[in-house]
Amino acid sequence: MPTPFTVPDPMLDALATGYGGEAAVRRLFDGQRSRRRLLLTLVSRELPPSAVRDLHDVEAAAPHVIADLMNEPLVGAGTMRIARQLAQHGTDPAALAAAHRYVAALTVVAALRSGLGVRLTIAPSGGWLSLPTLGRFPAAGPVLVEVGGGTALVGGRALTEVPGWQPVRRIRVGAGPDTGPGPGSGGGPTLDVAFDDVEEARQLFHIAAAGHLAALDHRRWERMLGSAWRLVTDRLPDRATELAAELRTLIPLARPEPRAARSGTAHDAVGAIGLDFATSPADCAVTLIHEFQHSKLAALTEMTALHHPSDDARFFAPWREDPRPIGALLQGIYAFLGVADAWRAFAGDPAVHADAARLFAGTRAEIRAAAQSLVGADDLLTPAGQRFAAGLDRAITDLEAVPVPAGLADQADAGIARKRQAWVDRGQRLRARRVLG
């Protein structure tokens, strides 16, 4: 029987600071890799042996290849989608066809990575044949894909020569004073991520993923991420280490409505971040930190329950108009703890962001107000959750000791008071509507 993944108390305490360290982050994501492998096993069991034989052969010959694929957040998302379809629809032909298509495509990728040979006919979906982690090409009907010696052929052509081929590109940026993409020269860690604007599984967020970007737009993203990454490695080196360890995929999002959030993390794809093009390198850096905090806590809660199930309890969170359940409140506090820490690090240099000090003061006040909502809610928290909440409180207290320019703290407190009153007023209106029918 597999050994369950657990989080010892010292690691939980470290994570509650808003950080955790590389070892803790890798431990969290090991749990995600195990979860993805289990999901793939469950999917395989629902299909006839002939549909999964080649995948099993690849794993028997090169188990490290399948293990490496479990690093990929969108492989996790794609596998989860298929598992849900099979669980909900059972032997429905459409669900089975989607499962066959997905497993065949994953087998092609695994064979290509391993150097082994397979010949599989794969049906397209929505006019595209998508190969996880590799890319896609347009197809009107089933396509024979032949793999051998580390090469995949379609109609005798290599994938890169197939008409309409759109690869999953990568962005690699490093520390250092230079402004372009590349490894840099500052000695900090390198961020090496898939920049996925093609895979079918990337549609995960409350905002639609962007379509395939032109080369010029891709270079703009490279430059923005390069500048943002150098800010993180320079001002927040411990966060850079965590991000470099387990941030695997960035998914560009279509620009949303002005009031919509501009980034997202999906529970099924921990280690992937969806984001739109930032207004500045500092904003981009903060978004990476914010969403990676969500990934860390999502992975933690897969391994350690922080709260008991509760359908009724709702809490005030200054960043939302609607009352939040306790799990969402913890997610928000943890994410914005990272945001506040980032603005603290950027606040000393107006050239980085003119409003960094104000944003630090405001976000710090928000997480304190949200944490105060947890006072008296110990009965909803597990022992691990109580320990984690106490650690969050200490981390917020540490941030509150950081001085800010005169007047900014008062402005932040006044903003919280307005948001709290608006939240109360909204709740009263909703209750009145329910009473009146």
Number of neighbouring beta carbons within 10 Å of residue 126: 9
Predicted confidence at residue 433, as pLDDT, reads 63
pLDDT tens digits, 18-57: 999 999 999 999 999 999 999 999 999 999 999 999 999 9
Q: What Cα–Cα distance (Å) separates residue 84 from each residue in 166, 264, 308, 399?
A: 28, 21, 24, 42
Q: Which residue has the tokens 């549609």?
A: 203
- pLDDT tier, 59 (very low <50, low <70, confident <90, very high otherwise): very high
Number of neighbouring beta carbons within 10 Å of residue 341: 26
Reading the block at residue 168, the tokens are 């999953």
Question: Furthest-apart CA pair in the chain: how many Å?
Answer: 71
Predicted confidence at residue 381, as pLDDT, reads 95
- pLDDT tier, 323 (very low <50, low <70, confident <90, very high otherwise): confident
Report the mean per-residue pLDDT for the chain.
Answer: 92
Task: Check pLDDT > 80 for residue 4.
Answer: no
Q: Where are the beta strands (DSSP E) in 135-189?
A: 135-138, 143-148, 151-154, 157-158, 166-167, 169-173
Predicted confidence at residue 432, as pLDDT, reads 59
Q: Give the whole-angstrom CA distance, residue 113 versus residue 310.
A: 45
- pLDDT tier, 144 (very low <50, low <70, confident <90, very high otherwise): very high
Predicted confidence at residue 1, as pLDDT, reads 44
Higher pLDDT, 179 or 17: 17
Among 3-7, 109-113, 234-238, name the one with the lowest average pLDDT.
Answer: 3-7
Task: Check pLDDT > 70 for residue 244.
Answer: yes
- Grouping H, G, I as helix, E, B as strand and the rest as coil, residue 41 is helix
**Per-residue pLDDT averaged across 404-424, rounded?**
92
- DSSP string of 316-358, one letter each residue: --TT-SS-B-HHHHHHHHHHHHHHHHHHHHHTT-TTT-TTHHH
Amino acid at 433: R
Q: Give the whole-angstrom CA distance, residue 255 versus residue 239.
A: 27
Q: Give the whole-angstrom CA distance, residue 152 versus residue 147.
A: 4
pLDDT tens digits, 329-359: 999 999 999 999 999 999 988 889 999 999 9
Please calculate the CA angle 239-244-249 and round it to the nearest 5 degrees.
Answer: 115
- Grouping H, G, I as helix, E, B as strand and the rest as coil, residue 269 is helix
**Per-residue pLDDT averaged across 218-227, rounded?**
97
User: HSE (CB half, 13 Å, CA atoms) of 232?
Assistant: 30
**Per-residue pLDDT averaged across 366-377, rounded?**
93
pLDDT tens digits, 255-281: 766 655 589 999 999 999 999 999 999
pLDDT tens digits, 78-104: 999 999 999 998 778 999 999 999 999
- pLDDT tier, 176 (very low <50, low <70, confident <90, very high otherwise): low
For the chain, the domains span 46-166, 168-303, 305-437
Task: Check pLDDT > 90 for residue 437.
Answer: no
Q: Give the whole-angstrom CA distance, residue 266 versus residue 245.
A: 19
Task: Check pLDDT > 80 for residue 431.
Answer: no
Q: Give the whole-angstrom CA distance, residue 131 versus residue 109.
A: 7
Query: What residues are paired with 381 via a beta bridge?
Result: 307
Task: Check pLDDT > 60 for residue 178.
Answer: no
Burial class for 436, CB neighbours closer than 10 Å (0-12, 13-18, 19+) = exposed
Task: Check pLDDT > 60 for residue 242.
Answer: yes
**pLDDT > 90: what percent of the chain?**
82
Predicted confidence at residue 184, as pLDDT, reads 44
Predicted confidence at residue 265, as pLDDT, reads 94
> What pTM was computed for the model?
0.93
Q: Give the whole-angstrom CA distance, residue 19 versus residue 33.
A: 21
Q: Give the whole-angstrom CA distance, residue 105 versus residue 142.
A: 12
Task: Check pLDDT > 80 for residue 435.
Answer: no
Task: Check pLDDT > 70 for residue 177.
Answer: no
Residues 6 or more apart whose CB falls under 8 angstroms from that of 434 comprise: none
For residues 128-144, one letter each, b for 16 or more C-beta atoms within 10 angstroms of the residue's C-beta and e for the rest, the string is bbbbbbbbbbebeeebe
